[in-house]
Structure 1
Amino acid sequence: MTRKPSARPHEHHALALLKLIYRHGRLCRTDLASITGYSNFLVSRVCERLLTAGSISEVGTGDSTGGRRPTLLSVTPGLGRIIGLHVGTVNARVVVTDIAGNVLTFLKAPSLVQSGPDDALPHLLALIDKALGQAGVRSGELLGIGVGISGILDRASGVTLSWPKVPTWKNVPVRAAITSAWPTLVTIEDTPRTMALAERCLGRARDASEFLYLMIGAGVGSALFFGGRPYTGSSGFAGEFGHMALRPDGPVCDCGGRGCLESYISASALVRKAREAVSNGLHSELWHLSNGDPQAISVELIAQAADAGDRFSLRLVEETGTCLGEAVVCLVNLLNPELVVIGGGVAAALGKRILPTVDRIAREHALVEMTNGLRIELSQLQEADWAIGASLLVAEGALENAFYSGARPVPTAAPGRRPRSAHRAGRKLVRST
């Protein structure tokens, strides 16, 4: 991990301009002077130093305001590599990106979380190692690893304190396990927040300052952004949306409470209900699609059955939309967001069917003043983007490390290979706090 020396004045200016260029994707020298208040002379001199060092590159021209078209500057992608790891209850997803966010490698594999940390952590480290190998990352090029993992976290120490869905995960030193293999910058965050960060930078929330991200997957969680920045609460645990008590006399939740929203609308809850119905003799399209095997039922299969007109599946989907809509009413009345984004595995499989119900209930039951201008939308991000969200946790810190270490650019991709862009142009990068 690079130790930051005391910055000399010119280094302070250079790092400030470098971060601004990174956050905006592309800027010209005039824009940099306008944003910072630095003189045109100082900006030009510092940019020349950054260009000579290889930290930034000239990447075309911008629109003219009457004179010569300005030259645009962008952070050089080859300054280093970043890992983003998204750890779910069922699957893990890992990306290797360059410093500019271009994806060099994406892998998906079972997370083995249910087997316990003793099995899962070595497996996840091996998955990271495999991704680095596929991306051709050499020693010294890795600048940081961002990790999104479910459960209750102590971010300062990088420890998973507990994970209601996986009782064996208690006081697990996730960050220490990773830094023992790769002594680099490592940041741990809750998966709903890393997914919301991806949404903020790459998705529906790029232009929203006050928005809620609702993750509906194997579990249910949320992330809150106020004033364009994530809100974590006094102890860092804000956003446990899935453990709102929707029905006080409802089923027992994995957290030990009763009637939690998660016990009604999560993938685990939906699959459990469908499996119980098939086991109890339900004969429907869902039974045919699963060949009568309850263990073959998944959220995707429920969606397929609903599309085929299966009445049980349609009713299950409608109940899901109703429960989620009732919970959204509470959030809208309490927080008055401009945007609610619904993401995660359940949203990907059933979102088009549940969204109209959620939207209708929210507008019927929330205060009119709260719903004026409110947008409720489905996330359009893909699974690789969830891991990109984790990589964004360390992006600016990695850039700073590259700056102080004097890192020189390396090729962004092997000859003939075209990396997938992470849509950086014009994005608003929001660092997790």
Structure 2
Amino acid sequence: MPNEKKQQIDVKKRIPSPKAKELFHDIRRKHEIGKNDLLISSGLTVSTLTRVLDELVGSGIISESGLGVSTGGRRPILYQVQGDYGYAFGLDISRVTSRLVLLDLAGDKLDATEWRMTEETTPERFMEQIIMQVHEWMDKHHIDFEQVIGMGIGAVGPLNREIGMIEEPEWFAAPGWNHVPAVHMLEDRLGIPVILDNGANTALIAESWANRTKDFRHMLYVHGGTGLRLGMMTDNKLIHGAVDMEGSFGQMIIQADGLPYRTTQGNFGALDTYASVYAIEREVNSRLRTGRSSVLRQLLPSGEPAKFPDIMQALKAMDPLVTEIVTQAATYFGIGLANLLNIMNPEKVILGGPLMTDSNLFFYTATQTAIRKTYHYPKYQVIFSKGTYGEEAIAIGAAQLMLSQLTV
């Protein structure tokens, strides 16, 4: 596909009527929904509902999918989203591994890929990879430019969402990741709408979508990896602070006279210093230098520091040293999580990232610690989950963020 700039199609004008947007929102959150149910939920008259549904069907954004079960009268007409009406790309920009996914309008995943973020993965090179992949998938899946709703990005913060910029993230392997105008770079080269939010928020959007029939009003998402990332949602709406707050959970002070943060910008005794991939690697290597025995000595070349994948391999071998350190880090994480629960009182908490996906020990130690230290327990019950989408949650949620712009 040629790389020329094309005129963007305004996402918010694809469904111009407010009533049509409300109906489409209700239909999109169901696999199928009957006209009678839409009549009840919308509060519209029969004639207005019929007219608006006919408009949506005529535009090709929804379709009639059959007849439902009769409750005494005629069998109701069922409606569903027409998946091939449009498509959205979801991009996860993270420090270690980044991902791109392609969803259709119904939220079904059509394709996915990932990249390791190396010392050569500068913003410019990375964006070129994304642009090439977008073009390749559009050819592969026979997607016309007019069918592309846009691209959502879930990125490491801090961010400026209003101008679409990744501001000053830490710990990328490659240089150049400060003040990256990600939205402008991709909109200019692809000619499609692009929207940016932090990765914890987009992961929470994905998990909220997966739980859309469960009616959870208050949810949290915490990502445990190189750093700690947090997203919050109430009544299916993300909570955005005055500034990007993705990294705020990691700066929670749990020991006022504790260890210094790994950079000069952080707090002494911050949770991130005790309960992140960085913290586990630091503690393991410190103990190895003091002469502690571990299977890591057989796994690593002489003099090489232990990295997180090596540590997880030792954990699977039930290495006592690694088990002790991971348990300690998970306990600290659980204390921080309990502080969040006592303030926010969510109904469900999704825990993602390599600390959770690579280690059942970390997940269960952290959640049990949090439960024991939660105020009003056992009266207050919270559901913990590793989520539905795993490591793809950030990218899938980013695509869903773009699709949700249709009803804004």
Normalising by the smaller structure, the TM-score range is 0.7 to 0.9
The corresponding residue for 1:17 is 23
Give the SS at the match of 1:235: coil
Q: Cα distance, 1:66 vs. partner?
A: 2.8
Q: CA RMSD in A?
A: 2.9
Are the counterparts in 1 of residues 92 and 199 from structure 2 also a CA contact under 8 Å? yes
SS in 2 for 1:213: strand
Residue aligning to 2:183: 175
Q: 1:362 to 1:3 in 2, by over 3 A?
A: closer
Deviation at 1:5, TM superposition (A): 9.5
- Would the aligned equivalents of 1:253 and 1:260 in 2 still touch at CA under 8 Å? no
52-61 vs 81-90, which deviates more? 52-61
Paired residue for 1:2, among 9, 16, 26? 9
Q: Does 1:51 align with 2:51?
A: no
Contact 1:89 1:113 in 2 (8 A): no
CA contact 1:253–1:259 (8 Å) conserved in 2: no
- CA pair 103-255 structure 1, distance change in 2 beyond 3 A: farther
Residue in structure 2 matched with residue 424 of structure 1 by the alignment: none
Distance 1:129 1:294, change over 3 A: farther
Name the CA distance, whole Å, in 2 between partners of 1:346 and 1:385.
Answer: 15
Q: CA deviation at 1:278?
A: 4.5
Contact 1:90/1:113 (<8 A) preserved: no
Tell me what 1:222 maps to: 230
**Conserved? CA contact 1:204–1:379, under 8 Å:** no
Distance 1:7 1:342, change over 3 A: closer
2:344 to 321, 324, 335: 335
TM-score (normalizing by structure 1): 0.82
Secondary structure in 2 aligned to 1:156? coil
For 1:158, which of 159, 164, 187 is the aligned residue?
164
Q: What is the CA-CA distance between 1:209 and the residue it aligns to?
A: 1.2
Pick closer, same or farther for the CA change 1:184–1:149 going to 2, 3 Å: same
Q: 1:292 to 1:129 in 2, by over 3 A?
A: farther
Percent identical among aligned pairs is: 25
- Structure 1 residues 26 and 239: alpha-carbon distance in aligned structure 2, compared to 1, 3 A threshold: farther
Provide, for residues 336-392 of structure 1, a one-character-per-residue CA deviation record: whole Å limited to 9, x for no partner: 222222111111001x21233223322333322586222233334233333111101
Counterpart of 1:423 in structure 2 is none
Alignment of 1:199 with 2:213, yes or no, is no
Counterpart of 1:138? Answer: 144
Work out the CA distance in 1 between the residues paired with 2:177 and 2:39.
50
On the 8 A contact 1:275/1:294 being kept in 2, the answer is no
- Say which of 261, 277, 285 aligns to 2:295: 285
**1:225 Cα deviation after fit:** 1.4
Distance 1:356 1:105, change over 3 A: closer
Bigger mean CA deviation after superposition, 56-65 or 309-318 = 56-65
Once residues 327 and 213 of structure 2 are traced to their aligned partners in structure 1, the CA distance between those partners, rounded to angstroms, is 26
> What does residue range 31-180 of structure 1 map to in structure 2 within 5 Å?
31-112=37-118, 115-166=121-172, 168-180=176-188
5+ long unaligned stretches in structure 1: 401-430
Residue 89 (structure 1) shift: 0.1
Q: Which moved more, 1:181-190 or 1:167-176?
A: 167-176
After superposition, the Cα gap between the structure-2 partners of 1:142 and 1:263, relative to the gap in structure 1 and judged at 3 Å, is same
Q: Do the aligned residues in 1 keep the contact of 2:229 with 2:246 (CA within 8 Å)?
A: no
Look up the match of 2:5: none
- TM-score, with length taken from structure 2: 0.87
CA distance in 2, matches of 1:336, 1:160: 30
User: Judging changes above 3 Å, is the alpha-carbon distance between structure 1 residues 336 and 188 closer, same or farther for their aligned structure 2 residues?
Assistant: same
C-alpha spacing 1:80/1:113, structure 2 compared with 1 (3 Å): farther
Which deviates further from its counterpart, 38-47 or 78-87?
38-47
Give the aligned partner of residue 209 of structure 1: 217
The one-character-per-residue Cα deviations of 1:18-40 (angstroms, maximum 9, x if unpaired) are: 23312334221112221222111
Quote the offset at 1:115 in angstroms: 4.6
CA distance in 2, matches of 1:172, 1:288: 42
User: What is the Cα deviation at residue 311 of structure 1?
Assistant: 0.5
Contact 2:230 2:245 in 1 (8 A): no
Report the Cα offset of residue 12 of structure 1.
Answer: 4.3
Give SS of 2:63's match. strand
SS at 2:401 equivalent: coil
- One-letter code aligned to 1:311: P
Question: In 2, are the aligned partners of 1:363 and 1:371 still within 8 Å (CA)?
Answer: no
Q: Is the 8 A contact 2:151 2:194 kept in 1?
A: yes
1:319 to 328, 340, 345: 328
Query: Which whole-Å CA distance do the structure 1 matches of 2:213 and 2:301 have between them?
Result: 41
Contact 2:223 2:230 in 1 (8 A): yes
24-33 or 75-84, larger mean C-alpha shift: 24-33
Secondary structure of the corresponding residue to residue 83 of structure 1: strand
Q: Does 1:392 align with 2:400?
A: yes
Contact residue 216 and residue 343 of structure 1 kept, 8 A: yes
Please state whether the residue corresponding to 1:24 is helix, strand or coil: coil
Q: How many residues align?
A: 397
Q: Deviations over 1:115-152 (max 9, x none)?
A: 54344333343344444444343333221100000021
Which residue, 361, 367, 373 being the options, matches 1:365?
373
Partners of 1:385 and 1:342 in 2: CA distance: 11
Contact 1:232 1:238 in 2 (8 A): no
Of 354-363 and 95-104, more deviation after overlay is shown by: 354-363
Tell me: CA distance 1:7–1:242, structure 2 relative to 1, closer, same or farther (3 Å).
Answer: closer
Q: Deviations over 1:287-334 (max 9, x none)?
A: 333455735x44343233223221011001111111101111211222
1:186 aligns with 2:194: yes
Counterparts of 1:387 and 1:238, CA distance in 2: 16
Partner of 1:341: helix, strand, or coil?
Answer: strand
Partner of 1:251: 260
Deviation at 1:205, TM superposition (A): 9.6
Q: Which residue of 1 aligns with 2:273?
A: 263
Contact 2:158/2:244 (CA < 8 Å) preserved in 1? Answer: no
